[in-house]
Amino acid sequence: MSDWADGVGSVPFRSGSLAALERTSRERGLGFHREELERIRSYFRAEGRDPTDVELAGLAQSWSEHCSYKSSRPFLKKAFGALRPRLRVLGTGDAGVMRFEPGYAYALRIESHNHPSAVEPYGGAATGIGGILRDVLAVGAKPIALADPLFFGPLDRGPESMPKGVKTPRYLAEGVIAGIRDYGNRVGVPTVSGGVYFDPAYLVNPLVNVGCVGFLPRPRLRPNRARAAGDRLVLVGGLTGRDGIGGVAFASRELTSESESESRGAVQLGNPIMKEPLIHACLESFDANLVEGLKDLGGGGVATAAGELAYAGGLGLRVDLAKVPRREEGLKPWEVWISESQERMVLDVRPANVPRVEEIFRRHDVPVTDIGEVIAGPYEILEWNGRPAAHLRLGFRVDPPPIHRRTRPRPRRRRAAPSVPADDLVGLFESLVLDPASVSREPVIRVYDHEVQGRTVVKPLQGRVTSPSHGDAAVIQPRPESARALAITTATQPWACREDPRTGAALVVEEAARNLYAVGARPDAFTNCLNFGNPEDPRVMGDFVAVTEGLGRAARALGFAVPSGNVSFYNGGLGAEIPPTPVLMATGLLTNLAEAVTSDLKHPGDLLYLVGRSRRELGGSLWARRMGRAGLAVPRADPAAVRTAGERLLAARRRNLLCAAHDISDGGLAVTLAEMAFGGGLGFTVDLDRTGLGDPALALVAEGGSRWVVEVPAGREARFERLLHGVPIAALGTVTAGEGDLRWSRRTLGTVPLAPLYDRWHRGLTVP
- The catalytic site residues sit at 66, 113
**Domain assignment of residue 457, yes or no:** no
Helix (H, G, I), strand (E, B) or coil at 143: strand
**Domain assignment of residue 62, yes or no:** yes
Q: How far apart are CA 208 and CA 642, in angstroms?
A: 29
Instruction: Using pLDDT thresholds of 50, 70 and 90, give the confidence band for residue 138.
Output: very high
Max CA separation in the chain (angstroms): 91
Mention every residue, 6+ apart, whose C-beta is less than 8 A from residue 164.
Answer: 257
308 and 381, same domain (yes or no): yes
Helix (H, G, I), strand (E, B) or coil at 527: strand
pLDDT average, residue stretch 670-690: 98
Q: In what order do the strands lie in the sheet with 96-101?
A: 89-92, 96-101, 104-112, 207-217, 142-152, 191-198
Instruction: Using pLDDT thresholds of 50, 70 and 90, give the confidence band for residue 291.
Output: very high
Q: Which region among 29-38, 475-484, 594-603, 639-648 has the lowest average model confidence (pLDDT)?
A: 29-38
Burial class of residue 351, CB neighbours in 10 A (0-12, 13-18, 19+)? exposed
| CATH code (residue 576) | 3.30.1330.10
**Domain assignment of residue 591, yes or no:** yes
178 and 309, same domain (yes or no): no
pLDDT average, residue stretch 593-609: 98
Tens-digit pLDDT profile for residues 432-471: 999 999 999 999 999 999 999 999 999 999 999 999 999 9
Number of domains comprising the chain: 3
Whether 680 and 601 have beta carbons less than 8 Å apart is answered as yes
pLDDT average, residue stretch 52-73: 94
**Domain assignment of residue 452, yes or no:** no
- Dihedral of CA 452/453/454/455: which sign? negative
**Domain assignment of residue 456, yes or no:** no
pLDDT average, residue stretch 47-59: 96
Please measure the distance between the N-terminal and C-terminal CA atoms of the chain and give it in whole angstroms.
56
| CATH code (residue 618) | 3.90.650.10
Tens-digit pLDDT profile for residues 198-240: 999 999 999 999 999 999 999 999 999 999 999 999 999 999 9
237 and 362, same domain (yes or no): yes
Domain extent for 144: 88-221+473-508+525-596
69 and 95, same domain (yes or no): no
pLDDT over 80 (residue 263): no
pLDDT of residue 193: 97
696 and 613, same domain (yes or no): yes
Other CB atoms closer than 10 Å to residue 707's CB: what's the count?
Answer: 28
745 and 606, same domain (yes or no): yes
Tens-digit pLDDT profile for residues 311-329: 999 999 999 999 999 998 9
pLDDT over 70 (residue 248): no
pLDDT average, residue stretch 496-524: 98
pLDDT of residue 693: 94
Tens-digit pLDDT profile for residues 157-210: 999 989 888 999 999 999 999 999 999 999 999 999 999 999 999 999 999 999
307 and 231, same domain (yes or no): yes
Q: Where is the domain boundary, 576, 596, 616? A: 596
pLDDT over 70 (residue 623): yes
Tens-digit pLDDT profile for residues 340-388: 999 999 999 999 999 999 999 999 999 999 999 999 989 999 999 999 9
Q: Where is the domain boundary, 562, 596, 630? A: 596
Task: Give the angle 67-73-79 at the CA atoms, nearest 5°.
Answer: 135
Q: Where is the domain boundary, 404, 420, 435? A: 404
Q: Are strands 142-152 and 191-198 parallel, antiparallel or unpaired?
A: parallel
Mention every residue, 6+ apart, whose C-beta is less than 8 A from residue 520.
Answer: 475, 487, 590, 595, 596, 597, 650, 653
pLDDT over 70 (residue 65): yes
591 and 606, same domain (yes or no): no
pLDDT of residue 269: 79
Q: How far apart are CA 195 and CA 435, in angstroms?
A: 15
658 and 737, same domain (yes or no): yes
CA 701 centroid distance within chain:
28
pLDDT average, residue stretch 291-304: 94
18 and 53, same domain (yes or no): yes
pLDDT of residue 255: 67
pLDDT average, residue stretch 24-36: 90
pLDDT over 90 (residue 416): no
**Domain assignment of residue 483, yes or no:** yes
73 and 156, same domain (yes or no): no
Q: Which region among 348-357, 402-411, 469-478, 667-676 has the lowest average model confidence (pLDDT)?
A: 402-411
